[in-house]
Each structure stands twice: as C-alpha cells, then as structure tokens.
Structure 1
Amino acid sequence: MIIGVPKEIKNQENRVALTPAGCSMLQEQGHAVIVQHGAGEGSGFSDEEYAAAGAELAAQPADVWGRAEMIIKVKEPLPEEYNYFRSQQILFTYLHLAAAPELAQALADRQVTAIAYETIQMPNGSLPLLTPMSEVAGRMSVQEGAKYLEAFQGGRGVLLGGVPGVPPAEVIIIGGGIVGTNAAKMALGLGADVVVLEKNGDRIRYLDDVFQGRLRTLMSNPHNIANAVRKADLLIGAVLVPGARAPRLVTEEMVKTMKKGAVIVDVAVDQGGSIATIDRTTTHENPIYEKHGVIHYAVGNMPGAVPRTSTLALTNVTIDYVMQLAAKGFNESVKANASLALGVNSYKGALTHPQVADAVGMPYTPIASLL
C-alpha cells in the first residue's frame, strides 16, 4: 500500500502522524511512504530522517493526497483540503465530526473511507487512540489554567498551590475519565484543592481509591455542578461522549456566578464544548477570551503545543492500526477487528457511526451492511 503523510495545516499544529521509526516499520513490510517536505519538523523530525527511513519526500500536499491509498494525519482536514478527497481513499486521523457537519458532508459526498482515531473503541469501552492525547490535554489543562490565573494574564492572581498560611486554589474538574484523571494528578501535584464531578458511581469509587482521599469526588448533577462552579478558581471541562457532541453541563448562568478572574479550560471544545460560554474555538496564537469576567481557554488542539511528546505518544498507539490496514486492506481489517470497525465514520458515501450521524443530522448506515 502507498501511505501518505501530509504536513498539518491547522493553526500552530506541529504534530505529525508518522515518525521515521514508523516509516521504517512500514518499509520493512513492503509498503511505500510519501511524506510532505517539512511534515515532521515541528516535532523535531527532519526530512533527512524520513529519507533515511525509506520515505519518498513530496514538495506539495497534492502530491501526497493524489498518490496515497491511505492518508494518515493528526487533525481533521480543513476546507482547503477537501478538494484532495478521493473516492475509496482511506483517511485515518482525528475527525471530531460531531462538531464539523460540513466535513462529514464532504467526506460522504466524495465517498472517502474515513476512520476516526477518537471512535476506535475497545470492548471495555476504552478509546486507545484518544487516550494518549487525553492524557496530554488533561495535564496541559492545569498547566495552562495556572498560567492564566496570573494577574498579568487577566486572572485572579492566585497561585494554584498556595503557600503556608494561604489556602490553595480550588480546581473543579467536570468528568473523571482520562482527561479528568490526568488533570487531577497535575493539580494535586501542584498543591491545589481538587474536586472531581463524575456521573459514573464505579468511576467515582475508582478515583477515591486511586487518589487515596487526596481529592474530593461529587456525583455530577446540575445542583452539584452549580455549587462547585461558583467556588472554582480553575474550572476544567473534561467530558466526552464518543462520537457525539459534548453535553452542555455548565450553563451561562453558572458561569456568571464565578469569581472575577477565574479561569475555564474546556478540553471538550473539539466536540463542541461542555460549557455554555465556550462559544468559539481559539488558537495557540490567541488562546483566551473573557466573558462575564471569567477567562476562557478554548484551544482546539492543545497537545499541539507540546508536539514532540504528543507525536511520540500518538504514534505509539496508531502504528499497529496503520500496519494492519496496510497489510490487510480496509475490508479485511474491519471484518477482523471490531474495535477498528467502530472507528469508521464514513464509507461509500454513508455515515457509519450512529452518534456521529445523529450529531450532524445525517442518516446512519451500519458498516456491516456495506462490506
């Protein structure tokens, strides 16, 4: 198979979908890899390293998209890339279609075989290709929140961990999954007072056990959320429903009750955001805006700020799926791997993930009926 790796074009997105080591693995199995010039530079991988690993270097994105049977990326294609789409070409990347109906329509119209990293799901419900980026984003949410709590950034002027004789900041995390757990680790490590709201009772018990009582847990419901939000110095939205838009759990009225100069970081912004006042996606260049006296951080590709770490973590988990698709082809891979089949969002002009189809208002067609 011919695998293509275009350079990411999203604002300040420096990750790359394949490392030179991954390129070598594919080459050893007899596959060809085309990498766009400069695709790996933001993550510290030079063109020379890709060439040494056996990749062919292409000057223009059209050269990569036009020849590859499978395109592997990090972020969802932007409108200027839609014209590169080809029927039956495999696109393997983060898609987040629930928040991008125009992309879903373009993939269906061009009959692209689109597989989303974020909806590949194991039998136990875990999301193996989303997990490493959720770990990065969860940890970064606290790092960025602490920065914007500084007075010179417009924040309350609160040190997250306080000092002896001065209480620490109150960090409220809504969602106790991978993002929330990693945010809690970082916030506790910095000495903050941490509360996690979660709706799954088993997960609440897990968090209580693993953190040995160092944080407080609350059942996630409107009453508890409203009370917690009012007290927050840093509010982190860490809610995910695979394939669907994030539920709006924090209302605008709740945000209005927050302290002046408090900070909100909504990691769910890629899926539409879980906080009502997150009404736009920001960039690493201009990451924040103020509303109701509260600083809002809504960057849609947070792990792109630490591309070396993020690229290595991401490719650790994607390479096995890339190898499988390259070796067996799409049909055989999907038939043999139920978790991979759940990752298919678009095939033969149909949307094949129920939550994605529902979110964008398009018909759903089971992938099994199309194979």
Structure 2
Amino acid sequence: MKLSQFKFNLPEELIAKYPAKYRDESRLMVLHKRSGEIEHRIFKEILEYFKEKDFFIFNDTKVFPARLFGNKEKTGAQIEVFLLRELNPNQHLWDVLVNPARKIRIGNKLYFGENEELVAEVIDNTTSRGRTLRFLYDGPHEEFKKLLFSIGEMPIPEYMGRHADSDDELRYQNIFAVNEGAVVAPAAGLHFSRELMKRMEIKGIDYGFLTLHNGLGAYRDIDVEDLTKHKIDSEQFSISEELCERVNKAFDEGRNICAVGTSVLRALETTVTPSGHLKPKEGWTNKFIFPPYEFVLTKSLVTNFHMPYSTLLMMTTAFGGYDLVMNAYQVAIDEKYRFGAYGDAMLIID
C-alpha cells in the first residue's frame, strides 16, 4: 500500500472541535464487512448488534494534562512544552517536545505558572524537536506532580484549533480511565457513558480492560510513500493474564470479540497467537498495521473517523477492507459525519 492511497478531501467544517452534548449520542455508522451494507444509527444503539456473552475490550489508559506554556529566561519568549513521559521520578526528569524548538538550548531555564512557581532546566537535546527537562523542585514527588498537572492543560489535538477548557478535562477522558500515561485519548471509548455500560451489563455483554498509553505517533507525518518503510512510534502497553483467560474463553466459545479503538486493536495484535489466543504481556509495541492484514481474534471494531494519511485510518482499512472503508468515508463526508477525537463513530462488523 502507498501513502497516497489514504488521501481524501475532508472539509474543515466536518472536524469536530467540541464533543457531542452527551457521550453516547454521537452518530454511529455501521459497516457490514460481508455485505458492504451501511447503516446510520445513534451510538447508544450499538448494543443491538451484540448478544449475551459477546466481549468488548477497552483501553483504560488515562490522559494527563501534558501541554504546558512557559517563558524562557532572560528573553521571556513564550515556549510550549508537551510532556511525553516521565523518565526519572526522583530527579523530576521528563521527555518533552518543545515549540519553537530552535530557541531552546541545553542549559536554558524555563518558567511555568502564573507566578513562575515551577522552573525547568534543559539538560539534553534528544531529537530535532525533543528535549529532556529537569524540573527544579525540592518537595515530595506527589506534590511536584500535583503542581505540574495543575499548570498543564489537557492535550486536545491541534487540529481542533483551540486551547483546552474545563469541559475537556472531563470529556477528553474515558469514564473508565485509571492508568495514567497517555497524551492522546483513546477516542472510540469516549462514546461510552455510564448508562451504556450499565445496559451492557444488563444485557449480559462481557467486557475487560487492557492498557496502552497512546502517544503522539498517530499524529506524526509519514514521509515515505512506501508504507513498509515507515516506522511507527513505540507505545507502552499491558495485557493481564486475567484478561487473556476471559478473552480466550469467549473466543473458544465463538463469541463476538469487539476491540474498542485502534489502540486496543494494536495491543491485541502485538500478542495474539496464530490460533487466535491472547497472551499476557507488558512492554512496548511499535506494530504498524495496514492492508492487507488478517485478523483472527477480533471480530468487530469501534473506531472514530480519522484524518487523511493517518496510521489510524490505515489500521481501520486493514480491518474493514480498503475499498469498503474508503467508500464508507466518502459516505460519511456526504452525510456530514463529524471527524476526529470528538467526532462520530464507526462500528465495523461481519
């Protein structure tokens, strides 16, 4: 497959800048793989396509307020710092992206907060944009993290064209998010409300959680036409033995296994065996899935409508079939579905 095959014209007005009023009332396109049929529904009607003992797998990663705005010492120039991951809690070391990167050198100090109550020193230039910062703080680690996160804002995607507000603290987060570490929300899970989860339980639909800390890799530009030459960023994940036992039992019984989001799909495909059984694992995955690709374990996928050229779109076409999914995207544009993390959803089923 070539990068140019994932181009489509997305009208700016179809990119969702704000979430729907209620989580489970976004629109839902249902794509039937076997027949190619497309249905237009409301997300809370999704359970009509599943029966008792079918199994949903969610990503329980938690987004932290990763975007900080500070000032450079002496010049006072405004600097945006995007926290990627904590490297050393004892020394308050963080791997970050800095913008504009060209203005920052090793040894520079950056000041954050209204009263400049948090100071960081640049100690390493790891990539053309990346840096390692040491935050200069003497107190306990938990106290430091509380201050750091109080200064930061939720890292909503840049394509929304706005700063995060107080609503984003709640809505750019899954209701079941518990394991802190993501800088990108697993968007497919954003549609699940407490009421919908309760209805799943009442219907007898089973579900479980894995953890994959979504990074910025999905938003990085791909600079090669031949997709086999593209290297995707690694993301940390964990799949428990308990989840594997439950999923494997459902699979052996012929149940419908549904991955909620491309992050779940990536994690599952990193450890699944050729026979369709899931193995427990903790570590990192840089698995890049694009057509053609054969899935054994997962029978259904819930995912949002993604941007042109994105690896998330590529993974969706691998699951649903390139022609079917690209046709469905044109239908979505014609029908004015909303795209992006706060947009509408697609369910791909057999």
- TM-score interval for Structure 1 and Structure 2 normalised by the shorter chain: under 0.3
Report the TM-score when normalising by structure 1. 0.25
Larger fraction in helix: 1
